[in-house]
A and B are shown apart, each in its own frame.
Chain A
Amino acid sequence: EIVLTQSPATLSLSPGERATLSCRASQHIHNYLAWYQQKPGQAPRLLIYDASNRATGIPGRFSGSGFGTDFTLTISSLEPEDFAVFYCQQRSNWPLTFGGGTKLEIK
């Protein structure tokens, strides 16, 4: 099973700042990684797929990068509605696995 490790567990930033979230895979997964955002009481929402492609309707301030084992989600300038929990997910191997999440909170 591929283990995804997200860091940091919690990130405290202010609106307007840049956020950088990390996801590390326990083995090579090419670019087969997605990022999701989940707000309290809501279902997750797909943000990025195949490491760097924005899903439909996702604002340009969200970007993804990485290949192999190390991946990054960047939010260039935080808006108030961006604060949430973010998960990465790999589709390289079964079982499909998610990272433990990074909580992005308002400082």
Chain B
Amino acid sequence: EVQLLESGGGLVQPGGSLRLSCAASGFALSSFAMSWVRQAPGRGLEWVSTVTADGGSTFYADSVRGRFTSSRDNSKNTLYLQVYSLRAEDTAIYYCARVWIDWYFDLWGRGALVMVSS
């Protein structure tokens, strides 16, 4: 079955950090650019980051640039999002999504909840 599964979410204090993972199955991650999209509670969707298929280029929203880092290990079929200096406004469900036709999202994971609170 083709799917994405995020992990690594949780409760973290302001200023803290964590690493989200997204495991792909049923397809070769190396063939696709991948993205992270987040959704604050009760709010809309916000694009966070995109990394190209080979990991050579990354793109970030202004709101996270310098604090978040996207990477991937194609040999493990896994995408990562390292987040630093977390703020309350980073509280959200973080979805990983497969990029299609530069740059839509045709496959989404179930999401990982990150809560930033003291």
Contact = CB atoms under 8 A, between A and B. Distances in A.
By size class, the interface of chain A is 20 to 34
Contact of A43 (B46, B95, B100): B95
A97 interface: yes
Interface of B: 35, 37, 44-47, 50, 59, 61-62, 95, 100-106, 108-111
18 contacts: A43-B95, A43-B109, A44-B37, A44-B95, A44-B108, A46-B104, A46-B105, A55-B106, A56-B106, A87-B44, A87-B45, A89-B47, A89-B104, A95-B62, A96-B35, A98-B44, A98-B45, A100-B44
B47 A44 contact: no
Majority DSSP secondary structure for residues of B touching A: strand
A96 B103 contact: yes
Contacts of B109: 43
Interface of A: 34, 36, 38, 43-46, 49-50, 55-56, 87, 89, 91, 94-101
A94 B95 contact: no
Nearest to A87: B45
Nearest to B106: A46
Contacts of A100: 44
B48 to A, nearest CB: 9
B25 to A, nearest CB: 16
Q: Across the A-B interface, give the 3 residue pairs with the lowest CB-CB distance, nearest first.
A: A43-B108, A96-B47, A98-B45
Contacts of A38: 45
Nearest to A91: B103
Given A94-B59, A95-B62, A96-B50, A44 B45 contact: yes
Given A44-B37, A44-B105, 5 more contacts: A87-B44, A89-B105, A95-B47, A96-B50, A101-B44
A86 B111 CA distance: 18
